[in-house]
Amino acid sequence: MGKIKIGVFGAGRGKTMIHEMLNNPDAEVVAICDKYQPLLDECREIADAKGVKIALYSNFEDFFQHDMDAVVMANYAHEHAKFGIRLLKSGRHILSEVLTCANLKEAVELIETVEETGKLYSYAENYCFFNTTYEMRRRYKAGDIGELMQAEGEYIHDCSGIWPQITYGERDHWRNRMSSVFYCTHSLGPILNATGLRPIYVNGFETPNMPFMRNLGWGAGSAGTLMVTLENGAIVKSIDMCLKGHSINYRMWGDTGMMETDHYESGTLHVYREHGQNDRGDWEKYVPKFTNEAANNSGHWGGDFFTSWYFVRALMGDTEAKDNIIDVYSAVDMCLPGILGYRSILEDNRRFAIPNLRNKAERDAVRGDTFCTFEESAGDMFVPNNAAQANRNERIPDSVYDEVRRRWENGEPG
Ligand SMILES: NC(=O)c1ccc[n+]([C@@H]2O[C@H](COP(=O)([O-])OP(=O)(O)OC[C@H]3O[C@@H](n4cnc5c(N)ncnc54)[C@H](O)[C@@H]3O)[C@@H](O)[C@H]2O)c1
């Protein structure tokens, strides 16, 4: 079998995958697409330095025609389903960056396209592949803490410092239009991936929209919390986005033990285990090793290596890799709580049932559900991302975006 011919769509975050794929012996990066010319210029330099030939496209339609087996989708987060469906139908496999879809209608379409085409869909939820979170999965599956009762996932990322660099002062950038809970995948995903449990209900909550984010152009609640009920009755608290101080943490309590990542020593895991007697267990504290040493040089605590590696290995027919990739059903499970959680926020935090889209009968009820904060995907179910806030009718003035753009152009922080 020859090398897998890879295209990369989106060359901002996509550069990470370009590097991973250039270092992968079974992959060949053949084409890259980004409409922003300076990024394509950087890609040309990367290709030249590596001594490889890569076709560079600024237009997706031209890129789409290129001879490629698989595409890494690192384009806008709310457009992965839209472009992914086209790519799958054209016979390409896809590795999709976060998130999966903008609304429930797209979730159904994406799942059905994967089923119809038989092509590989893999979700690049890199937070599931840290040395710690992946070890939590291994230990949960080994029964080391028993049955999950409660869990917490935190993706607390105060993005204010980099907001100009990640939104470019564009009012319509997806980050300026997402809800407080849309980006729930990094906090919730590792808990779902570790346990294999499906989310069945969600209640959403959000903080006020604070001036430090509103003055950068994001009018949603600055941070969001989801309370998610899993199929075995366990409860997960999932917190994401802009609170002060960075904190990426996971805790899981079972009926015979618990485990948690270390708040201040990233890479360390604590595990408490009982051995048949209540309240008489032992603690371990250690730095789990990666299952592949190549991950040591990779971003996001090794997670960036494994998403690309397993994708390519799975395409080469490796069954262990196939067991490790995050399939389209699990990917949707990691995102639907955010979409429905915002609906809950708008309706006094009431509980929403999360459909199981593996089940064909449950798809019909949501097939036409376009509720989301992205106008072009929502049609008549559009709702603004600041609808739950006290300033609900406030339109952020153009001058805010002009200032953010000026900072981006001058390389200044937010
Ligand atoms: N997993 C992680 O740790 C992580 C980290 C950062 C970003 N991301 C994800 O990666 C994706 C990209 O994020 P980003 O930070 O690079 O910012 P971004 O979403 O602003 O960048 C997307 C890039 O795609 C290009 N693009 C989008 N649509 C295009 C089109 N139709 N034609 C040509 N080019 C197009 C844009 O020019 C831009 O450079 C998002 O989905 C984001 O959620 C994931």
Closest approach atom of ligand 1 to CA 167? 20
Token readout for 404 is 């953010």
Quote the pLDDT of residue 208: 94
Together in a domain, 220 and 166: yes
Together in a domain, 163 and 79: no
Asked if 169 and 101 touch (Cβ cutoff 8 Å), the reply is no
User: In this structure, is residue 26 part of a structural domain?
Assistant: yes
The mean pLDDT of 327-352, rounded to a whole number, is 98
The mean pLDDT of 310-316, rounded to a whole number, is 98
Asked if 247 and 229 touch (Cβ cutoff 8 Å), the reply is no
- Residue (of 178, 117, 107, 130) closest to 368 by Cα position: 107
Domain boundary among the residues 126, 155, 181 is at 126
Quote the pLDDT of residue 391: 59
Asked if 414 and 216 touch (Cβ cutoff 8 Å), the reply is yes
Quote the pLDDT of residue 389: 84
Token readout for 306 is 């494994």
User: In this structure, is residue 404 part of a structural domain?
Assistant: no
Asked if 153 and 337 touch (Cβ cutoff 8 Å), the reply is no
Quote the pLDDT of residue 1: 79
| Res 390 pLDDT > 80 | no
Together in a domain, 141 and 15: no
**Ligand 1, atom 6: closest residue by C-alpha:** 13
Closest approach atom of ligand 1 to CA 11? 39
Distance 17 CA to ligand 1 centre (A): 12
**Ligand 1, atom 40: closest residue by C-alpha:** 77
Together in a domain, 66 and 45: yes
- What percent of the chain is modeled with pLDDT above 70? 99
User: In this structure, is residue 386 part of a structural domain?
Assistant: no
Together in a domain, 111 and 211: no
| Res 350 pLDDT > 90 | yes
CATH of the domain at 359: 3.30.360.10
| Res 117 pLDDT > 80 | yes
- What percent of the chain is modeled with pLDDT above 90? 95
Distance 76 CA to ligand 1 centre (A): 4
Beta-carbon contacts of residue 175 (< 8 Å; ≥ 6 apart): 77, 159, 163, 166, 167, 218
Distance 230 CA to ligand 1 centre (A): 30
The HSE-up count of residue 386 (CA atoms within 13 Å, CB side) is: 20
Closest approach atom of ligand 1 to CA 60? 32
What is the extent of the structural domain holding 150?
Answer: 130-290+327-381
- pLDDT band for 263, please (50, 70, 90 cuts): confident
The mean pLDDT of 258-263, rounded to a whole number, is 93
Asked if 128 and 189 touch (Cβ cutoff 8 Å), the reply is yes
User: In this structure, is residue 155 part of a structural domain?
Assistant: yes
Quote the pLDDT of residue 66: 98
Together in a domain, 122 and 22: yes
The mean pLDDT of 300-316, rounded to a whole number, is 96
Quote the pLDDT of residue 222: 97
For ligand 1, which residues put their CB under 6 angstroms from it?
10-13, 33-36, 39, 60, 74-77, 97-98, 126, 166, 300
Distance 10 CA to ligand 1 centre (A): 5
Q: Across the chain, what does the average pLDDT equal?
A: 96
Together in a domain, 238 and 375: yes
Burial readout 188-227 (b: 16 or more C-beta within 10 A, e: otherwise): bbbbbbbbebebbbbbbbbbebbeebbebbbbbbbbbbbb
Quote the pLDDT of residue 132: 96
Asked which of 85-89, 185-189, 252-256, 301-305 is least confident by mean pLDDT, the reply is: 301-305
| Res 173 pLDDT > 80 | yes
User: In this structure, is residue 321 part of a structural domain?
Assistant: no
Distance separating alpha carbons of residues 409 and 414, to the nearest angstrom: 12
Together in a domain, 199 and 348: yes
Whether pTM exceeds 0.95? yes
Distance separating alpha carbons of residues 174 and 219, to the nearest angstrom: 12
| Res 40 pLDDT > 80 | yes
Greater model confidence, 393 or 83: 83
Distance 12 CA to ligand 1 centre (A): 6
User: In this structure, is residue 232 part of a structural domain?
Assistant: yes
- pLDDT band for 266, please (50, 70, 90 cuts): confident
CA geometry: angle 7, 43, 81, nearest 5 deg = 35
Closest approach atom of ligand 1 to CA 125? 1
Asked if 117 and 94 touch (Cβ cutoff 8 Å), the reply is no
Asked if 208 and 267 touch (Cβ cutoff 8 Å), the reply is no
Domain boundary among the residues 126, 153, 171 is at 126
Distance 164 CA to ligand 1 centre (A): 14
- pLDDT band for 354, please (50, 70, 90 cuts): very high
- pLDDT band for 265, please (50, 70, 90 cuts): low
The mean pLDDT of 188-197, rounded to a whole number, is 98
Mutate to test the pocket of ligand 1, among 35, 82, 173 (most ligand atoms within 8 A of CB): 35
Distance 372 CA to ligand 1 centre (A): 19
Together in a domain, 199 and 136: yes
CATH of the domain at 59: 3.40.50.720
Distance separating alpha carbons of residues 9 and 62, to the nearest angstrom: 12
Quote the pLDDT of residue 315: 98
The total number of structural domains in the chain stands at 2
The mean pLDDT of 158-185, rounded to a whole number, is 98
The mean pLDDT of 87-114, rounded to a whole number, is 98
Quote the pLDDT of residue 309: 97
Quote the pLDDT of residue 351: 98
| Res 134 pLDDT > 80 | yes
The mean pLDDT of 169-182, rounded to a whole number, is 98
Together in a domain, 93 and 154: no
Quote the pLDDT of residue 393: 66
Quote the pLDDT of residue 286: 96
Beta-carbon contacts of residue 150 (< 8 Å; ≥ 6 apart): 234, 235, 236, 252, 253
Distance 292 CA to ligand 1 centre (A): 27
The mean pLDDT of 105-121, rounded to a whole number, is 98
C-alpha distance across the termini of the chain, in Å: 48
Closest approach atom of ligand 1 to CA 57? 33
User: In this structure, is residue 59 part of a structural domain?
Assistant: yes
Together in a domain, 44 and 185: no
User: In this structure, is residue 144 part of a structural domain?
Assistant: yes
Place of tokens 């409860």: 235
The HSE-up count of residue 144 (CA atoms within 13 Å, CB side) is: 20
Domain boundary among the residues 92, 109, 126 is at 126
Together in a domain, 90 and 34: yes
